[in-house]
Amino acid sequence: TLSLRLVIRSFSLTSSYPQAQNVTWKSTNFKTILTWEPKPSADYSYTVEYSAVGADKQRNRHCIRSSVTVCDLSSSLTDLHAYYTADVLSEPPLGATSDLIEFPHTSSPRFCPYKDTNIGRPDFKLKVSEDKKKTTLYVDDPLTARFKDGRQLNIRDIFSHQLQYKVTYRKNKSTGKKIYESKTNVIELTDLDRGESYCFNVQAYVPSRSTDMQLGELSQTQCSNNDDQSIFEVYSVGVIAAAIFLILLLIGLIIAITVVCCKRRKKALKSGKEGVPLRDV
């Protein structure tokens, strides 16, 4: 019948445009990318539609009938506090047409940039006071993918007074850790043992977010110098042993060269004396 043929034809068209799978938001420092699978064949493409909850759907011109499986929506999600959803539509390739009115699509989870973006690791500088009583950390706010009036915003521009930093520190070569929280980028620590070397990590901390999103990525570890450290604390046993071996080898070479030179000199003097004729008495 006609209706059966239409159903079969519609099914065959739909089956030629497989639905996207694993539609996921990936976001760090407000650089927000929608990803999905699988990579399309030459017979179909993907189009992304997105919207704030309750608002009209929009399209990013870079993500219309595309053959890739990513869509950068960083600049499209203008209201950082809004919740967004996105649909990935499976459509004909660019330039092709189809009789389908509605194309297969897969929806993303809800995403709020302010609450759900990951915060990248910060950089910081370390300075120990001359009297060794105070260690100061100078933290740089990580830059974001957001711009305002031609200026690239950092995370403090967005989180404002909500942004804090959590410092994790310990004595060098020790496992015991302490935590210090600061509301500023200049962090002064005065409860450290004078003359000891300490190691520090810093991460952004936003208490207003959900528990699993409060902490940013941990920074690289930096350790303060300890002027009172012995050579065994500064260098490993292997390095010290290698240095001693090289010194002994050098001394041995010097002694060997000196002995050889002395023997040759004595031999030369002896042969010189034997070659001189005896004088008449």
Confidence tier at 262 by pLDDT (50, 70, 90): confident
Give CA–CA dist 120/155, Å, rounded.
10
Q: Cα-atom radius of gyration of the chain, to the nearest Å?
A: 36
257 occurs within a structural domain: no
Residues of the chain above pLDDT 70, percent: 87
Instruction: Mark whether 104 and 173 lie in a shared domain.
Output: no
Residues 97 and 202 placed together within one structural domain of the fold = no
Same domain assignment for residues 37 and 101: yes
Same domain, residue pair 107 and 150: no
Residues in the chain: 281
- Digit-coded pLDDT (tens) for 11-40: 444 456 899 999 999 999 999 999 999 999
Reported as a pLDDT band with limits 50, 70 and 90, residue 10 is very low
* Residue 119 confidence (pLDDT) above 50: yes
Is 110 found in the same domain as 48? yes
- The model's pTM: 0.72
Do 91 and 141 reside in the same domain of the chain?
A: no
236: which 2 tokens? 């490993």
Q: 188, 208, 226 — which closes off a domain?
A: 226
CA 102 to chain centre: 41
Shared-domain flag, residues 106 and 32: yes
- Does pLDDT of 92 surpass 70? yes
**Domain ranges, residue 219:** 123-226
Could you tell me which of 173, 165, 230 has the C-alpha nearest to residue 202? 165
- Compute the mean pLDDT over every residue in the chain, rounded to the nearest whole number: 87
CA end-to-end span of the chain, whole Å?
Answer: 148
* Calpha distance 225→242 (Å, rounded): 24
SS3 content of the chain, % helix, strand, coil (to 5): 25, 35, 40
* 106 and 28 belong to one structural domain: yes
Residues 6+ apart with CB under 8 A from 174: none
Q: What is the CATH number of the domain that holds 131?
A: 2.60.40.10
Q: Is residue 279 part of a domain?
A: no
User: Element (H or E) spanning 15, and its range?
Assistant: helix 2-15
Six-digit token string for 259: 């002995």
For residue 210 the two structure tokens come to 């959900």
194 and 221 co-located in one domain: yes
**Three-state SS annotation for 110-168:** CECHHHHCECCCCEEEEEECCCCCCEEEEEECCEEEEEECCEEEEHHHHHHHHCEEEEE
The answer to the question of residue 264 being in a domain is no
Residue 208 counted as domain residue: yes
Residue 197 is assigned to a structural domain of this protein: yes
The more confident residue out of 65 and 268 is: 65
Shared-domain flag, residues 7 and 91: yes
Q: Which of 159, 169, 236 is nearest to 204 (CA)?
A: 159
Q: Check: CB of residue 178 under 8 Å from CB of residue 169.
A: yes
Does any domain span residue 153? yes
Q: Give CA–CA dist 227/202, Å, rounded.
A: 24
| Domain end position, chosen among 72, 94, 116 | 116
Q: Using pLDDT thresholds of 50, 70 and 90, give the confidence band for residue 90.
A: very high
Q: Is residue 253 in some structural domain? A: no
Question: Are 166 and 106 found together in one domain?
Answer: no
Strands (E), the chain: 21-28, 31-37, 45-52, 58-59, 70-72, 84-91, 105-107, 123-128, 135-140, 143-148, 151-154, 164-171, 178-182, 186-189, 198-205, 222-223
231 located within any domain = no
**Cβ atoms of residues 241 and 232 within 8 Å:** no
Residues 145 and 196 in one domain: yes
Q: How many domains does the chain have?
A: 2
Q: What letter represents residue 14's amino acid?
A: T
Q: What are the tokens at 75? A: 């600049």
